[in-house]
Amino acid sequence: MLATEKDFSGGHDAPLPYSYTGDGQMIEFKTSDGQAGHAFEIKSAKPSNKYLFVIHEWWGLNDYIKKEAAMYAQEMPGVNILALDLYDGQVATTPEEAGKLMQGVKTERATAIIKGAQQYAGAKAQFASVGWCFGGGWSLQSALLGGKQTVGCVMYYGMPEKDVAKLKSLNSDVLGLFAEQDKWINPTVVKQFEKDMAAAPTCLPTFLAGWRCCWSRAMPKPCKPWVAPGRWPLR
Question: What does the pLDDT read at residue 221?
Answer: 41
pLDDT at 26: 99
- Give the pLDDT of residue 206: 75
Q: How much is the pLDDT for 215?
A: 46
Alpha-helical regions (H) of the chain:
6-10, 63-75, 95-104, 107-121, 134-146, 164-167, 187-197
CB 86 within 8 A of CB 138: yes
Tell me if the domain spanning 2-231 has CATH number 3.40.50.1820. yes
Q: What is the pLDDT of residues 56-79, one digit of tens each?
A: 999 999 999 999 999 999 999 999
DSSP type of residue 38: E
Q: How much of the chain is helix, strand and coil, in % rounded to 5?
A: 35, 20, 45
d(CA 195, CA 175) in angstroms, rounded, equals 14
Q: Is 213 left (phi over 0), alpha (psi -120 to 50) or beta?
A: left
Question: What pLDDT sits at residue 119?
Answer: 99
pTM reported for the whole predicted model: 0.89
Per-domain residue ranges for the chain? 2-231
pLDDT on residue 231: 52
Residues in contact with 195: Cβ distance below 8 Å, sequence separation at least 6, in sequence order: none
Q: Beta partners for 129?
A: 53, 153
Picking from 35, 57, 65, 50, the residue whose alpha carbon sits closest to that of residue 149 is 50
Report the SS3 class of residue 206. strand
Q: Which of 218, 83, 103, 202 is nearest to 153 (CA)?
A: 202
> How far is 70 from 19, CA to CA, in rounded Å?
13
User: pLDDT for 14-53, tens place per residue?
Assistant: 889 999 999 999 999 999 999 999 999 999 999 999 999 9
Using CA atoms, how far apart are residues 113 and 109, in angstroms rounded to an integer?
Answer: 6
Dihedrals φ, ψ of 80, to 5°?
Answer: -80, 135
Strands 126-132 and 80-84 turn out to be: unpaired
Residues 6+ apart with CB under 8 A from 120: 27, 29, 30, 37, 82
Per-residue pLDDT of the chain (235 residues; tens, 9 = 90+): 555 555 554 457 888 999 999 999 999 999 999 999 999 999 999 999 999 999 999 999 999 999 999 999 999 999 999 999 999 999 999 999 999 999 999 999 999 999 999 999 999 999 999 999 999 999 999 999 999 999 999 999 899 999 999 999 999 999 999 988 888 899 999 999 999 999 888 888 777 665 445 445 444 343 333 444 445 567 6
Instruction: Determine the 3-state secondary structure of 36 from DSSP.
Output: strand
Alpha-carbon distance of 229 to 36, in angstroms, equals 31
